[in-house]
A and B are shown apart, each in its own frame.
Chain A
Amino acid sequence: SQQGEEDPQALSIQEGENATMNCSYKTSINNLQWYRQNSGRGLVHLILIRSNEREKHSGRLRVTLDTSKKSSSLLITASRAADTASYFCATWGNTGNQFYFGTGTSLTVIP
């Protein structure tokens, strides 16, 4: 399967700390996206990084991409209780239907 794998599966931190989650994938990609999912809701897009980019920032989010290692990381700085959610990476491969989500990281931020 092309499916990405997030690591860790679950993460619990104190409010104000940084949270880092990782995504690994198996084949060449055109882009990699990160999404957030609150309990009982749909996914919300956070950030998209293209295969020729190495780092991207959006507010408190920092995403890196290492295509040689087929991995990406999502850093959330100064976490808040509202950041509690599951986070998924998604990769787009070489053709239209090669779009795969990882299994997700469940983040809990303790107030």
Chain B
Amino acid sequence: DAGITQSPRYKITETGRQVTLMCHQTWSHSYMFWYRQDLGHGLRLIYYSAAADITDKGEVPDGYVVSRSKTENFPLTLESATRSQTSVYFCASSDQGWHQPQHFGDGTRLSIL
């Protein structure tokens, strides 16, 4: 089925560990985005990508790394997880970036102990 899928759906890890959240879309959309959702803050943009091998920072990029070697994949890595990174993470894609609607995955709920 066409769409955007995130994995894992749930993840528990410890502070200091590296963790990678996966995002895969089947539409061949140019743009992909990573957000985190926290109570009281709504969704905040972490990183985005306008095309393969092109990435840029959003509002809250510190502590995160992204890559985009293929159009359909946009993994997000926490190199050394901290408790403040406990959140729900959403990946999204869009055909024409900010001009068009974004299509969201169902999120990854990440807990860092």
State the A residues within 8 Å of B (CB).
Answer: 3-4, 30-31, 33, 35, 40-45, 48, 88, 90, 92, 96-97, 99-104
How far is A48 from B97 in the complex, measured between Cα atoms in Å? 13
The chain B residues found within 8 Å of chain A, CB to CB, are: 4, 35, 40-45, 48, 50, 56-59, 90, 92, 97-107
Minimum C-beta distance from B59 to chain A (A): 7
Say yes or no: B45 contacts A42, CB within 8 Å: no
Q: List 23 A-B contacts (CB under 8 A).
A: A30-B99, A40-B106, A42-B104, A42-B107, A43-B90, A43-B102, A43-B104, A45-B102, A48-B101, A88-B43, A90-B43, A92-B98, A96-B48, A96-B98, A97-B45, A97-B48, A97-B56, A97-B59, A100-B44, A100-B45, A101-B43, A101-B44, A102-B42
Q: Would you call B101 and A103 a contact (CB within 8 A)?
A: no
In whole angstroms, how far apart are the Cα atoms of A96 and B99 in the complex? 10
Residue of A nearest to B6 (CB): A42
Q: In the complex, what distance in Å separates the CA atom of A90 from the CA atom of B105?
A: 17
In the complex the two chains form, is A97's CB within 8 Å of B42's CB? no
In the bound assembly, the distance between CA atoms of A92 and B58 in angstroms comes to: 12
The closest CB in chain A to the CB of B94 belongs to A45
